[in-house]
Chains A and B, each alone.
Chain A
Amino acid sequence: MAVDAAAVRVPAAVRTPRFAEVAGGGFIVGYLSLVVLLPLAALAAEAGNFEHAVTNREALSALKLTLGLALAVALVNAVVGTATAWVLVRDEFRGKRLVNAVIDLPFALPTIVAGLTLLALYGPRGSSGINLAYTRAGVLVALLFVTLPFVVRTVQPVLLELDTEMEEAAASLGARSTAIFRRIVFPNLLPAILSGVALAFARAVGEFGAVVLISGNLPFKTEMASVYIFGRIQSNDAAGAASLSLVLLLISFATLLVVGALRRWATRHDRQD
């Protein structure tokens, strides 16, 4: 009796039945269309062209400020996030588990609460004595708050898996600790750092809740792109709001493409599919 080799490896019953495949596929497409794709298509249709976003001075200024601050946030996170991940993995001190748990707080805390929280410390009558309300520095602090976990959480697992043997070998051959970090640790962490930075950048570009209270939304000074869009919606200028929104949407897509490429690059040695 001939044995069908393919049937031995994958018994027919394991394959999803045809009707389930069709139903599942239909469900996914229908759900995503209703929730994500149709609304975004409506946005793209309303935006039409980028005319408003690139000709309105206030819109341009908000976009420039947003991109500049998001870049600054990305740079700070690259350094501080990597340092935090390193301390959490390689250092030992009391209360480390607590610190590790607290890192995720900005993910769990509603953004409007985050904004109010920062006003309590850095606002007018704030407890620190430093008043950052209605300043770009205040917006920067708010963005640093909400993006804090990204780099830490992408770098930490890579650092955990990184074998210390290479570093020990380098040390026994006489390399200094800065050289070890620069030549061995850093290259291994780079893809993770970059994808964390990209996610933090995207988050900072779109952030609304955390900045809306502390920024004061002064046009040409502290007005972020998302807050500008919100203002356009409030004054019934759908076309103007949609125009800048489409720019933000394209930035988000581009960032995700970069993150996807980085992920494929980082896992190029151990992927099956």
Chain B
Amino acid sequence: MIARISLRVGVLMYLAAILLIPVGLVFWRAFEHGVGPAWDAVTTPGAKHAFWLTLEIAAIAVPLNTIFGIVCALAIVRHRFPGKGVLNAVVDLPLALSPVVVGLSIVLLYGRDGWLGSLPFQVLFATPAMVLATIFVSLPFVVREVVPVLREIGTDQEEAAATLGAGAFSTFRRVTLPAIRWAVAYGVILTTARALGEYGAVRVVSGNIEGKTQTMTLLVQDSYDNYDITGAYAASVLLAMIAIATLLLMTMFRPREERT
């Protein structure tokens, strides 16, 4: 009994010291001088632009990764083909790879001396490269959520639909898609959170030009470097609130068996 309680207290103290107190402090610091300065800091033209640019990048990256995630999960679970192991490894890679390395790879490919360095439109230090970096880092989430569910539901219902005369497309739309929709939704939440919050990879490919290629996370760092502490904490609070909203959605959508 004493061991149980001391373990509980130890774990909770660790969580408080590493996680809860620091995050709570950011809120306190941002509103230290009242709501006014914090509000002013996140409504400057530069901050507004950063906000919309962040949303724009996510609005392109998330749907693309969702479609890719579903197609890729179907291929992994329902088809046999050579190189499946490699496909699995490549899809997981963004989870284990440094975002700076991701950014550098894109810079080297689209940079002046890169293989794709002379495209007719600007890629590097502009939105396309930032979208590419965001797609790279948020690639695995939908795939990883959908694969186990596809494996679990099996093919019985799809076979029944097919025997009753449904074509491949309507079987997918009427049987498979409804069965995996919660897993897709959960994957989309994780993808969106990662896309909105990416820093390292976007930092490397963006050039960090205020009012042009500055996203929310870059704004946080820029404000901090320019000793605009209130601005940095205010933008952080905005991002932290997005993160907390993500957590709430994750708790709602988490597959049953993982709940405690």
Interface residues of A (CB under 8 A from B): 10-17, 20-21, 24-25, 27-28, 31-32, 34-40, 42-43, 45-46, 80, 83-84, 86-89, 91, 93, 96-97, 99-113, 116-118, 120-122, 127-128, 141, 144-145, 148, 156-157, 160, 177, 199, 202-203, 205-209, 212-213, 225-227, 229-230, 233, 238, 241-242, 245, 248-249, 252-253, 255-257, 259-260
A42/B167 contact (C-beta < 8 A), A83-B10, A102-B247, A260-B89 known: no
Contact B232 A209 (CB under 8 A): no
| Partner among B79, B85, B240 whose Cβ is within 8 Å of the Cβ of A16 | B79
Contact B250 A104 (CB under 8 A): yes
A116/B224 contact (C-beta < 8 A), A16-B78, A105-B247 known: yes
Known: A109-B239, A160-B260, A209-B99. 5 other contacts (CB 8 A): A21-B79, A25-B75, A86-B7, A102-B19, A145-B22
Contact A107 B20 (CB under 8 A): no
B58 to chain A, nearest CB (A): 12
In the complex, what residues of A have CB within 8 A of residue B101's CB? 43, 206, 226, 229, 245, 248-249
Q: Which residue of B lies closest to A153 (CB)?
A: B258
Contact A39 B136 (CB under 8 A): yes
Contact B96 A229 (CB under 8 A): no
| Partner among B104, B158, B165, B248 whose Cβ is within 8 Å of the Cβ of A43 | B104
A115–B168 CA distance with the chains assembled, in angstroms: 49
A120/B98 contact (C-beta < 8 A), A107-B193, A213-B221 known: no
The reply on B209 being an interface residue by CB < 8 A is no
A252/B97 contact (C-beta < 8 A), A109-B243, A257-B89, A260-B88 known: yes
The reply on B48 being an interface residue by CB < 8 A is no
The reply on B187 being an interface residue by CB < 8 A is no
The reply on B72 being an interface residue by CB < 8 A is yes
Contact B217 A113 (CB under 8 A): yes
Q: Say whether chain B's binding surface is mostly helix, strand, loop, or mixed.
A: helix
The reply on B163 being an interface residue by CB < 8 A is yes
Listed by A's residue number, 9 A-B pairs whose Cβ atoms lie within 8 Å are A13-B163, A16-B79, A20-B168, A36-B90, A117-B236, A145-B19, A160-B257, A160-B260, A241-B104
Contact B21 A121 (CB under 8 A): yes
In the complex, what residues of A have CB within 8 A of residue B81's CB? 25
In the complex, what residues of B have CB within 8 A of residue A20's CB? 168
In the complex, what residues of A have CB within 8 A of residue B204's CB? 230, 233
A23 to chain B, nearest CB (A): 9
The reply on B14 being an interface residue by CB < 8 A is yes
The reply on B12 being an interface residue by CB < 8 A is yes
Contact B8 A87 (CB under 8 A): yes
A259–B199 CA distance with the chains assembled, in angstroms: 26
Q: Which residue of B lies closest to A24 (CB)?
A: B71
Most buried by B among A35, A100, A156, A205: A35
Most buried by B among A208, A253, A256: A208
Contact B26 A113 (CB under 8 A): yes
Interface residues of B (CB under 8 A from A): 3-4, 7-8, 10-12, 14-15, 18-23, 25-26, 29, 64, 68, 71-72, 74-75, 78-79, 81, 85, 87-109, 111, 114-116, 132, 135-136, 139, 155, 158-159, 162-163, 165-168, 171, 190, 193, 196-200, 203-204, 216-217, 220-221, 224, 232-233, 236, 239-240, 242-244, 246-248, 250-251, 257-258, 260
In the complex, what residues of B have CB within 8 A of residue A177's CB? 3
| Partner among A24, A99, A141 whose Cβ is within 8 Å of the Cβ of B74 | A24
| Partner among A108, A148, A207 whose Cβ is within 8 Å of the Cβ of B98 | A207
A202 to chain B, nearest CB (A): 4
A27/B71 contact (C-beta < 8 A), A39-B109, A113-B220 known: yes
A80–B11 CA distance with the chains assembled, in angstroms: 7
Contact B23 A105 (CB under 8 A): yes
A120–B236 CA distance with the chains assembled, in angstroms: 12
Which 4 A-B residue pairings sit nearest by Cβ, starting from the closest? A206-B98, A110-B197, A39-B105, A202-B96
In the complex, what residues of B have CB within 8 A of residue A103's CB? 15
A206–B171 CA distance with the chains assembled, in angstroms: 42
A225 to chain B, nearest CB (A): 7
In the complex, what residues of A have CB within 8 A of residue B21's CB? 121, 128
A91/B8 contact (C-beta < 8 A), A39-B108, A120-B25, A241-B104 known: yes
A160–B259 CA distance with the chains assembled, in angstroms: 9
Most buried by B among A21, A39, A213: A39
Contact A28 B104 (CB under 8 A): no
A13/B166 contact (C-beta < 8 A), A39-B109, A105-B243, A113-B239 known: yes
Contact B171 A14 (CB under 8 A): yes
Q: Which residue of B lies closest to A96 (CB)?
A: B260
In the complex, what residues of B have CB within 8 A of residue A241's CB? 104
Contact A117 B7 (CB under 8 A): no
Contact B109 A42 (CB under 8 A): yes
